[in-house]
Amino acid sequence: MSRVGKNPISIPKGVEIQVNSNSINVKGSKGQLSHTLSEGISVEINEGVINVNRSNDNKSQKALHGLNRALINNMIKGVSDGYKIKQEVVGVGYKASNQGNLLELHLGFSHNIFFDIPVEIKVTTETVKGKNPVIILEGCDKQLLGQVAAKIRSLRKPEPYKGKGIKFENEKLRKKAGKSAAKK
């Protein structure tokens, strides 16, 4: 059996789960998510615990077993606790601000960038004097949240010499040495 797939998932209080023939719906305080199960994968709910089962021991079924279990676990964690990603905007004159779900970025280009955040994600920005501006993304869908954060980062990736650009909060950047004087 898959090491990930065989682990049971405990259901926290306040989370409702509805299983149809090939889909699962999860509803909690932070939102509602649904997932279509892969072919040959089934779900059982017993006394506040979810078990994910597979129909046979093919290599592809083993992989899908662990994948579906991880996706269901992420959905349950998302609707109960939620996910949060912080990004720093590093650079002189670089700014970030938002009005609702419209993110405005000043990243050293000749124009400002307006990035429309999906409705499922809540965005806030913090600007403190003496510190880099911070973009905070919150939501219940881990996949969508990561995709939006990666798209924002791709607008100005951190460059390797000074580290200017948009980076994740705890990301370690490997800086390159600049040009050195020529030897005689």
Its pTM stands at 0.86
Pick the CATH number of 9-80 from 3.90.930.12, 2.60.40.10, 2.170.190.11, 1.20.140.10: 3.90.930.12
Task: Provide the 3-class DSSP secondary structure of residue 51.
Answer: strand
In the prediction, which pLDDT does 11 show? 92
Residue range 67-96: mean pLDDT, rounded: 93
The mean pLDDT value for 31-54 works out to 91
Domain range summary for the chain, segments of one domain joined by +: 9-80, 83-168
Say yes or no to pLDDT of 111 above 80.
Answer: yes
Mean pLDDT of 79-83: 93
Same CATH topology for 9-80 and 83-168: the answer is: yes
Across the range 97-114, mean pLDDT stands at 93
Match domain 83-168 to its CATH number in 3.90.930.12, 3.90.180.10, 3.40.50.720, 1.10.580.10.
3.90.930.12
* Dihedral angle, C-alpha 88, 90, 92, 95, nearest 10 °: -30
Model confidence at 1, pLDDT cuts 50, 70, 90, reads very low
Q: Is the dihedral of CA 160, 163, 164, 170 positive or negative?
A: positive
Output the pLDDT for position 21.
Answer: 84
Q: Residues 121-147: what's their mean pLDDT?
A: 94
Q: Which burial class, exposed, middle or buried, applies to 95 when counting CB atoms under 10 A from its CB (0-12, 13-18, 19+)?
A: middle
**What DSSP state is assigned to residue 76?**
H
Segment 109-127 shows an average pLDDT of 94
Is the pLDDT at 171 greater than 70, yes or no?
Answer: yes
> Band of the pLDDT at 89, cuts 50, 70, 90?
very high
